[in-house]
Amino acid sequence: MKVLFVASECAPFVKTGGLADVVGAVPKALFELGVDVRIMMPAYPAVAPLLKSGTTVWHSDEFLGGKAELRSVRAEGLDLLLLDAPHLYDRPGSIYLDGAGQDWHDNHLRFGALCRAGAEVCLNGIGDWKPDIAHAHDWQAGLIPVYLKQANAAAPKSVITIHNIAFQGLFDSSVRQILGIDDNMFTHERVEYWGKVGFLKSGIALADKVTTVSPTYANELLDPEFGMGLEGLMDHRRSDLAGILNGIDVDTWNPATDKALKRNYTSRSLKRKAENRKQLEDRFGLSSKPGCPLFCVVSRLTTQKGLDVLLEVLPDLVEQGAQLALLGTGDPAIEDGFRRANEQFAGSVGTIIGYDEELSHLMQGGSDAILVPSRFEPCGLTQLYGLRYGTLPVVARTGGLADTVIDATPENVKSGKATGFQFAPVSKQELVKVIARVCDLYQQEDVWLSMQRAAMRYPVDWGSSAQAYKQLYEQMMDDQSINDGNLK
């Protein structure tokens, strides 16, 4: 079975968040199950060095304003199709934002081109490789199902995965001419969203199947509180919607072999975490307080992630004798808040504003607990890394966080099932309470150790979820009732 992934980022090449981790990891797990996945993504400057090693499998002299070619490259165990279109992607800085922090003015072209090229491969193949399934990820790939439905030729079936419904890719209705979206597509059942072209909306409306990254988030998406205006459409697609939980790459994230750690460890040698903690204390300017829990946060600094609430409870956290190491970038106001906290609570709160993959590993290896107080969280990955590293997750009871962390209730602690802490709702009061619970349990060394071991035993690999994707693809290929070339 051949599957084309289309996405705007892919680890380890280009990453701004969890989407990249997933796009980089699932194909490897699917390969083990006999599924041949190729990943199409833009050739941003970060991947330009790879272009030399590839072969050109398609080209155009005029592709939405400039020359473009598709280079087939094998790197880091992945088969990539890099869309090299310098007029769209060869620019410095963020892959989504310009120097002023605004969306690139031509994002509709940049990601519309990605979808056009993806559809081209789906419809005509490259050499003797033609996908059976097109798998679009997030809004940047949302027009793939549109182009496939518009085509007169037989097209592969398509699935879109929603990694975060908050990012929808909305553009002025005039872009549909340049993007080649047929007029009959511009209806509210298909591409139109309140007078605009909605990339994610289009994908959800027109893909044969829709998935999201956890069962709880799949349910939440039907609710106006989480559906971000698309809850009605989600409800309409309910019978085609599945929540397939994300996993993590357990080779990259392995405390026994992770080169970013000062000292490697397993569930039998958890005392060695102390050496990583020491390293972390030095990096973050924290004083040594061995008897007190060290919390960490590795995150985008946004209100989605609830980090404005964390700022409010820092005095309580410090008062309880706990410490915090935070790494992140995001909203300027939240960044400033944490910079100030670094001064105000020197020695107890250490913050580094920036993006640092290697340091994020050390944080999992050296902290006692990882805080994820998100207001909504489609799946979340840092709590999964926490489980794998015996760094107990402290999470809001929402989305994938609710699905992956077993709360330390008295019953769960007694039965040895507990792997972390859940709280709800995301409020100052509840966050203070859960931090107190963590501090309390941390003093019970035996209980803490058995929770760490339960966390490290918890399956976080891609095994069963890759199987679920494969089954979905098989089901789509068998189902003659879908994608018969007609619009739904």
In whole angstroms, how close is the CB of 54 to ligand ADP at the nearest point? 27
In whole angstroms, how close is the CB of 159 to ligand ADP at the nearest point? 19
Does residue number 299 form part of the binding site for ligand ADP (CB under 6 A)? yes
- Report the distance separating Cα 263 and Cα 255, nearest Å: 9
Q: Which of 162, 298, 307, 451 binds ligand ADP (CB under 6 A)?
A: 298
Collapse the DSSP code of 40 into the 3-class scheme (helix H, G, I; strand E, B; otherwise coil) and give the result.
Answer: strand
Query: Given the complex with ligand ADP, which of 329 and 427 has the nearer CB atom?
Result: 329
Site string for ligand ADP, 14-43 (x = CB under 6 A): ---xxx-x----------------------
Does residue number 357 form part of the binding site for ligand ADP (CB under 6 A)? yes
Does residue number 397 form part of the binding site for ligand ADP (CB under 6 A)? no
Query: Given the complex with ligand ADP, which of 74 and 339 has the nearer CB atom?
Result: 339
Query: Given the complex with ligand ADP, which of 164 and 422 has the nearer CB atom?
Result: 164
Collapse the DSSP code of 326 into the 3-class scheme (helix H, G, I; strand E, B; otherwise coil) and give the result.
Answer: strand
Query: Which range binds ligand ADP by CB under 6 A, 50-58, 379-387, 435-443, 447-455?
Result: 379-387
Count of chain residues binding ligand ADP (CB under 6 A): 19
Does residue number 329 form part of the binding site for ligand ADP (CB under 6 A)? yes
Would you state the structure tokens that stand for residue 376, as one six-digit string? 């909504």
Query: Given the complex with ligand ADP, which of 81 and 370 has the nearer CB atom?
Result: 370
Does residue number 312 form part of the binding site for ligand ADP (CB under 6 A)? no
- Report the distance separating Cα 298 and Cα 301, nearest Å: 9
Does residue number 249 form part of the binding site for ligand ADP (CB under 6 A)? no
Question: In Å, what is the CA distance from 304 to each residue of 207, 331, 376, 403?
Answer: 27, 11, 6, 18
Q: Which of 300, 428, 433, 437 binds ligand ADP (CB under 6 A)?
A: 300
Residues 177-206 that bind ligand ADP (CB under 6 A): none
Beta-bridged to residue 423, according to DSSP, are: 396
Query: Given the complex with ligand ADP, which of 117 and 384 has the nearer CB atom?
Result: 384
Does residue number 380 form part of the binding site for ligand ADP (CB under 6 A)? yes
Question: In Å, what is the CA distance from 46 to each residue of 68, 82, 90, 242, 291?
Answer: 17, 12, 9, 33, 43
What does residue 426 show for φ and ψ, rounded to 5 degrees? -80, 95
In whole angstroms, how close is the CB of 163 to ligand ADP at the nearest point? 7
Query: Which range binds ligand ADP by CB under 6 A, 97-105, 256-264, 311-319, 325-333?
Result: 325-333
Does residue number 328 form part of the binding site for ligand ADP (CB under 6 A)? yes
Residues 142-171 that bind ligand ADP (CB under 6 A): 164
Burial (Cβ within 10 Å: 0-12, 13-18, ≥19) of residue 358: exposed
Q: Render 237-296 in DSSP notation, one character per residue.
A: TGGGEEE------TTTS-TTT-TTSSS---TT-GGGHHHHHHHHHHHHTPPP-TTS-EEE
- Report the distance separating Cα 182 and Cα 100, nearest Å: 34
Question: In Å, what is the CA distance from 276 to each residue of 163, 255, 298, 459?
Answer: 32, 11, 16, 24
Collapse the DSSP code of 25 into the 3-class scheme (helix H, G, I; strand E, B; otherwise coil) and give the result.
Answer: helix
Beta-bridged to residue 324, according to DSSP, are: 295, 349
Does residue number 355 form part of the binding site for ligand ADP (CB under 6 A)? yes
Query: Given the complex with ligand ADP, which of 150 and 329 has the nearer CB atom?
Result: 329
Query: Which range binds ligand ADP by CB under 6 A, 43-51, 193-201, 338-346, 349-357?
Result: 349-357
Q: Are the C-beta atoms of 158 and 135 separated by less than 8 Å?
A: yes
Residues that bind ligand ADP (CB under 6 A): 17-19, 21, 164, 298-300, 327-329, 355-357, 360, 379-382
